[in-house]
Structure 1
Amino acid sequence: MDPEPGEFLSLLSPDDAAALRAAGRPKRWDRGDSVMGEGDRGGWALVLMEGRVKVSSHTSSGTEVVLAVRGPGALLGEMSAIDGSPRSATVTALEPIAGVVIGDFPAFLQAHGRIAVLLMQLVTAKLRDSDRKRIEYGAFDTTGRVATRLIEMAERYGEKTNGGLRVALPLSQDELAGWTGASREAVSKALRTLRDRGLIETGRRRVVIHDLEGLRKRAR
């Protein structure tokens, strides 16, 4: 499966990608498996080759907050692998996934300086994305945040159909709520609002976006 644009693997040259695969070992997980746990320690990192995962954390009250959905090409666990700190989030397989585990990630980076520079660029992009999401939470209502997440999924995973863009969502409504920083009831109401406006159609773990531009306007 080709890496998603902007993900770590898509930034590497063919030679760098081959060196990464040679330095690691392949591993698979089933849907629902925990790939990494919040608070765990480990010097290894994972490059996702197939499938999608959710990156999440839990508040002190036990509420799950979904931080991101990552797909093929994503680099996971790199920060903890580099500085030795406990992992800051849990990574869970949303569907069967396959990846390459880099057992000693710091040593790999020391031996491949160009890849280390690309990693710094990637970390910077993640920080910018985190800042953007914090602004969204303060400036957008729940419907706007839900619309923004649906647009993100459509741009990354949307498949053209006669009715628009079909997105197979690996997330439940509870997980979508955790990704938008809202309650399940508020997300359900937001989806109903978007349906009533004719912007989307929903089904079990899928959404068809009939009017992407209209959804972008609502997100703003």
Structure 2
Amino acid sequence: MGQAALVGVVFPSADRVVRHVSATSAIQERAAAPGFNSILKRRLDSVQRFEAFSEIPGSDCAAIVVDAQEMQFQRHSTVFSEGSPATRVALLLSGCMKITQGRAQGQEVILRLNGPGDVLGKLGSQARANHLYTTYAVQPSLALVWEMDAFERLVDRFPLLRRNIASILERHLNELEIRYREVSTEKVSSRLSNLLVRLVSQVGRRIEDCVEIALSRRELAQLTGTTLFTVSRLLCQWEAQGIVSARREVVLVHDVPALQELSREE
């Protein structure tokens, strides 16, 4: 895992030899750790709003998050590197991650963006293989991180967690299908406006009277399958209408309803 800072605490682990201790009992044993209750409550408040923890009872949620590490990633820091061993799994609590894959010519292709609630890392039957992509922090980001072995045990122990992660992976696949369909059938202006509408809800950050999307025009061009020139031209048109404004590595959306209407009209 790349550059990151540990925040909060890592709770003392339960004795790994004792296999039949209930989740509640194991947590009670660790409650003597300084600040345990307040940190656990903060983690529960963070994760229970996410799809990965949908319909999971509070006591089970506590058992899942109690052994995770909290890690803070600065902007542009690397979380996972393409080709490196897949040894950890992360749940993004805040911020935004960019998933890329290298090409033979040395260029990178953006596969998707991950926002709060997304699971990062290699999962499934090939989980122990090397990473097939690189994950960068687009914004300062906070994540809960588990060792792969520990997370696999949690997935086996809590079927609802397995179901929810499968649902997240299915959503990612659906998003790729949508992008493929848009590239094949829609005009660039429609693809770009639709992309910005999705990014507002997925990774947008509210700043006063606008929503910040921390992506450059070049990155937006990659995500929409077009050229930097075309994206710049469209953003200039929409900026003149007061819908967006573009900076060097940021797009500010000032009028979300107008952008939604634009995506329907194109």
| TM-score in terms of structure 2 length | 0.70
Aligned equivalent of 1:154: 200
* Alpha-carbon distance in structure 2 between the residues aligned to 1:173 and 1:158: 17
The reply on whether 1:195 has 2:239 as its aligned counterpart is yes
Deviations 1:116-166 (A, max 9, x none): 12222222222222111111111122222211111112234364976xxx2
Answer yes or no: is the 8 Å Cα contact 1:52–1:69 preserved in 2: yes
The residue correspondences of 1:109-128 to structure 2 (distance < 5 A) are 109-128=155-174
Answer yes or no: is the 8 Å Cα contact 1:201–1:209 preserved in 2: yes
Cα RMSD for the two superposed structures? 2.7
* Alpha-carbon distance in structure 2 between the residues aligned to 1:160 and 1:29: 21
Answer yes or no: is the 8 Å Cα contact 2:78–2:134 preserved in 1: yes
The reply on whether 1:70 has 2:120 as its aligned counterpart is no
Moved more, 205-214 or 111-120: 205-214
Answer yes or no: is the 8 Å Cα contact 1:45–1:75 preserved in 2: yes
* Amino acid corresponding to residue 201 of structure 1 in structure 2: V
Distance 1:137 1:11, change over 3 A: farther
| Structure 2 residue ranges without an equivalent (≥5) | 1-44
Answer yes or no: is the 8 Å Cα contact 1:38–1:86 preserved in 2: yes
Deviations 1:35-74 (A, max 9, x none): 0112222231101112111112223323322222222221
CA displacement at 1:82 relative to structure 2: 5.3
The reply on whether 1:139 has 2:185 as its aligned counterpart is yes
Distance 1:183 1:4, change over 3 A: farther
* Alpha-carbon distance in structure 2 between the residues aligned to 1:57 and 1:161: 34
* Alpha-carbon distance in structure 1 between the residues aligned to 2:58 and 2:161: 12
Match of 2:264 among 193, 217, 220: 217
* Alpha-carbon distance in structure 1 between the residues aligned to 2:227 and 2:49: 31
Moved more, 8-17 or 46-55: 8-17
* Alpha-carbon distance in structure 1 between the residues aligned to 2:99 and 2:56: 23
Q: Which has more radius of gyration?
A: 2
| TM-score in terms of structure 1 length | 0.83
Moved more, 54-63 or 2-11: 2-11
* Alpha-carbon distance in structure 2 between the residues aligned to 1:44 and 1:65: 23
Match of 1:96 among 136, 140, 162: 140
Distance 1:120 1:18, change over 3 A: same
Secondary structure of the residue aligned to 1:85 is coil
CA displacement at 1:4 relative to structure 2: 10
Answer yes or no: is the 8 Å Cα contact 2:110–2:219 preserved in 1: yes
Aligned equivalent of 1:207: 252
Moved more, 171-180 or 57-66: 57-66
Q: Percent identity?
A: 22
Answer yes or no: is the 8 Å Cα contact 1:16–1:115 preserved in 2: no
Aligned equivalent of 2:227: 183
* Amino acid corresponding to residue 105 of structure 2 in structure 1: S
Answer yes or no: is the 8 Å Cα contact 1:46–1:75 preserved in 2: yes
Aligned equivalent of 1:32: 76
Aligned equivalent of 2:52: 8
